[in-house]
A and B are shown apart, each in its own frame.
Chain A
Amino acid sequence: DAGVIQSPRHEVTEMGQEVTLRCKPISGHNSLFWYRQTMMRGLELLIYFNNNVPIDDSGMPEDRFSAKMPNASFSTLKIQPSEPRDSAVYFCASSFQTGSSNTGELFFGEGSRLTVL
C-alpha cells in the first residue's frame, strides 16, 4: 500500500511568490496533519483535519498560511506571499482515528523542503 505522498520534494522560490504544497494521505486514514520542521523550532504542528474538517489550526503562523482538504485523499498547504523565514521542511502525516481505537500513530510523508530566497 502506498504511504503518504507529498509534492514537491524540493521547492526554491523567491520572496513574495505563492507556494503550494500537496499531500495525499494513506487511503482509509481519516486524519491529516501538516507539520513544519526547522532547526530553531523543531517540529511544529500547523494544522490538522479530521474527516476533511479543520479541527485545530492554532499552529498556523499567520494569515499568509492556509490549508485545505477538499476530499479524503488530498490536502494543500499554501503560503502567499512567501518569506525567507518560511524556509523549512514541511511534513504531511496521516492517521486513522476512531472513538474507541485511537493510538495516534502518525504515518509521515517524505516532506517538502522549501527554500525562500
Chain B
Amino acid sequence: AQTVTQSQPEMSVQEAETVTLSCTYDTSENNYYLFWYKQPPSRQMILVIRQEAYKQQNATENRFSVNFQKAAKSFSLKISDSQLGDTAMYFCAWTNAGKSTFGDGTTLTVKP
C-alpha cells in the first residue's frame, strides 16, 4: 500500500519569508502524480501545485515550487514571500490511476 508521510504537524513563518514543507512517500509504482493541496480555515481543499513523476523538472506556480527527488521519494513544497493568506493546512498527495493517498497534513501559520 502507498503511504505518504508529512513529518511536520505544525510550522510557522514570518510574513515575506520562505518556508519549506516536507513530504515523503512510499510506492513501488513508476508512474504517478504528486500534489500539494491547501485547506484554509474555510475548509475547502484547493490545488496548490502538481508534479508528474516522469518529469525531472520541478514544478513552479508563482510563489510555490517543489523539490521533487524521485529516487529519494521526496516531494517538498517551498513557499516564497509568505503571505498571511497562506495560513492553512497543507496536504501532500500521491496519485495513481485516479486514486489518491494523502498525508496527515502540515498546519502552516504565517505571522505578521
Query: Given the interface contacts A110-B43, A111-B43, A111-B44, does A104 sit within 8 Å of B102 by beta carbon?
Result: no
Which residues of B sit under 8 angstroms from A34, Cβ to Cβ? none
Residues of B63-84 whose CB lies within 8 A of A: none
Chain B binding surface SS class: strand
Query: Given the interface contacts A42-B104, A43-B91, does A89 sit within 8 Å of B43 by beta carbon?
Result: yes
Query: Given the interface contacts A91-B45, A108-B45, does A48 sit within 8 Å of B50 by beta carbon?
Result: no
Which residues of B sit under 8 angstroms from A89, Cβ to Cβ? 43
Interchain nearest-CB distance for B19 vs A (Å): 21
| Contact digits for B68-112, partner A, Cβ 8 Å, 1 yes 0 no | 000000000000000000000001010111111111110000000
Which residues of A sit under 8 angstroms from B25, Cβ to Cβ? none
B91, B95, B99: the one within 8 Å of A56 (CB) = B99
A75 adjacent to chain B (CB < 8 Å):
no
Chain A binding surface SS class: strand
Interchain nearest-CB distance for B75 vs A (Å): 14
Q: Is the CB of B44 within 8 A of A108?
A: yes
Which residues of B sit under 8 angstroms from A104, Cβ to Cβ? 33, 35, 95-100
Interchain nearest-CB distance for A54 vs B (Å): 13
Q: Is the CB of A105 within 8 A of B104?
A: no
How far does the alpha carbon of A105 sit from the alpha carbon of B20 in the complex, in Å? 22
Query: Which residues of A are in contact with B by a Cβ distance under 8 Å?
Result: 31, 33, 42-43, 45, 48, 50, 56, 89, 91, 93, 95, 97, 102-111
24 A-B pairs, CB-CB below 8 angstroms? A33-B100, A42-B102, A42-B105, A43-B91, A43-B102, A43-B105, A45-B99, A45-B101, A48-B98, A89-B43, A95-B98, A97-B98, A102-B98, A103-B33, A104-B33, A105-B50, A106-B35, A106-B45, A106-B47, A108-B37, A108-B45, A110-B42, A110-B43, A110-B44
Which 8 interchain pairs have the tightest Cβ spacing?
A104-B95, A108-B45, A43-B102, A42-B104, A97-B98, A110-B44, A104-B33, A111-B43
